[in-house]
Amino acid sequence: MHQENSRRDMIKKVATMAFASTALSSLSTRVAAHDLAVDEKLKGKINHSVCAWCYNLPLDELCKAAKKIGIHSIDLVDPKGFDTLKKNDMITAMVASNGPDWGITKGFNKIEHHDKLEEYFKYYIDETAKAGFSNLICFSGNRDGMSDQQGIENCTKGLQRVIGYAEKKKVTLVMELLNSKVDHHDYQCDHTAWGVELCKSLGSPNFKLLYDIYHMQIMEGDVIRNIRDHHEYIAHYHTGGVPGRHEIDETQELYYPAIMKAIYETGFKGHVAQEFIPAHKDQIASLRQAIGICDLA
C-alpha cells in the first residue's frame, strides 16, 4: 500500500510539473509575441486593422493601444467615432453602418426595406467620403424563406439605388459574408459563391465582399482556394479562431500564416482586421500575438 501511495504521489508530481512547463511555455510564447509586436516594426506586407466591438475598451484607449503595436486602422467605427480616430491619427478601413431598422437581419434582400436603405446609405456614403474613408459595410439580411436567386435579384435592385452615388463619392459598399450555421441563423449572404454572383449581377467596381475567414471556415471551409479563386471580388478580410471565435493561435483549427500568405500572393492591398473575441484577460496581449501571427516576413 505504501508503494502504491508513493507511485500515485510521483504521478501527481510529474503531472503537475508537466502542466507548469506547458503553462510557462504558453506564457513565454505570448510574451515573445508581445515584445515582437511592440519592439519591431511590422513588415508591411499585410495592412492590419482591428474591430472595435471585440474589446472592452473606449475607442480612444483602443486607438492608443493599437498604435503601439503598429496598427493604424480600427474597423467598424461609425461616424460618431470619426473625430476620435482623427485625434489619434487613425483611420477606419471599414465603416460601420448598422441602424435601428436595418442591419444583419434586415438588409437589401427585401424590397420593402429599399426606401429606408437608400436614405440611410446615401447619408453614410456622404459621411464616409467626407472623412476620407473608402469602405462601408452592408448586409444581405435574412432569407425568411426567400430563394437564393430571388435574394440576388432583390439585393441587386436595392443596391442599384445607391451604387451610382457611391461611385461618384469614391466609396465601396462591402457586403459581409457571415455564417448562418452558428452565429447568424438564416442570413442569406452565407457562401462565397452567392456573394460573387451578387457582385457579378451588380457589375460595379464599387461593390465587393468582406471575406470573414472565421465565418467562411464554418460554412464551407476551403478558405485558401476560395481566396485565390475569388480575390477580385474581395475588398476586406476579418479573422477569428474556429471554433469559438477566440484567439487565432494554436488553440484553433486554422493556420493563419498560410492564409495570410495566400492573401498576399493575390496582390491584395486592402486591410486584414482582427475580429476575434479575446478569451484571455490581457486583451491587448492577445491582439499583439494575433498581429505577430499575421505579419508576414
For residue 152, give the CATH number of its domain: 3.20.20.150
3-state SS string for the chain? CHHHHHHHHHHHHHHHHHHHHHHHHHHHHHHHHHHHHHHCCCCCCCEEEEEHHHCCCCHHHHHHHHHHHCCCEEECECHHHHHHHHHCCCECCCECCCECCECCCCCCCCHHHHHHHHHHHHHHHHHHHHCCCCEEEECCCECCCCCHHHHHHHHHHHHHHHHHHHHHHCCEEEEECCCCCCCCCCECCCCHHHHHHHHHHHCCCCEEEEEEHHHHHHHCCCHHHHHHHHHHHEEEEECCCCCCCCCCCCCCCCCHHHHHHHHHHCCCCCEEEECCCCCCCCHHHHHHHHHHHHCCC
pLDDT score, position 97: 93
Residue 7 within any structural domain of the chain: no
Q: Find the range with the poorest average confidence among 22-26, 132-136, 185-189, 267-271.
A: 22-26
Mean pLDDT in residue range 260-264: 98
Sorting pLDDT into bands at 50, 70 and 90, what band is 12? very low
Question: Residue 151 above 60 pLDDT?
Answer: yes
Q: What is the pLDDT of residue 101?
A: 76
Residue 247 inside a domain? The answer is yes
Asked if residue 50 is part of any domain, the answer here is yes
Determine what percent of the chain is predicted with pLDDT higher than 90. Answer: 84
**pLDDT tens profile 61-95:** 999 999 999 999 999 999 999 999 999 999 999 99
User: Has residue 33 been placed in a domain?
Assistant: no
Q: Does some domain include residue 155?
A: yes
pTM: predicted TM-score of the whole model, two decimal places: 0.87
Q: What is the pLDDT of residues 201-259, one digit of tens each?
A: 999 999 999 999 999 999 999 999 999 999 999 999 999 999 999 999 999 999 999 99
Name the residue range of residue 119's domain.
43-294
Q: Which residues pair with 175 in a beta bridge?
A: 138, 209
Higher pLDDT, 275 or 7: 275
In the predicted structure, residue 7 carries a pLDDT above the cut 80:
no
- The predicted pLDDT at position 165 comes to 98
Give the pLDDT mean for 142-152: 98
Better-predicted residue by pLDDT, 65 or 29: 65
How many structural domains is the chain composed of?
1
**Pairwise CA distance, residues 256 & 250, whole Å:** 10
Given a cut of 60, whether residue 42 has pLDDT beyond it is: yes
> Average pLDDT of 26-42?
46
In this predicted structure, the answer to whether residue 198 has a pLDDT above a threshold of 60 is yes
Residue 30 lies in a domain: no
pLDDT score at 99: 77
Residues 147-174: what's their mean pLDDT? 98
Confidence of residue 297 (pLDDT cuts 50, 70, 90): confident
pLDDT at 243: 97
Residue 26 pLDDT greater than 90, yes or no: no
Indicate whether 17 belongs to any domain: no
Is a pLDDT exceeding 60 seen at residue 34? Answer: no
User: According to the model, what pLDDT value does residue 40 have?
Assistant: 53
* 8 domain-assigned: no
Cα 31–chain centre separation = 24
Asked if residue 6 has pLDDT above 90, the reply is no
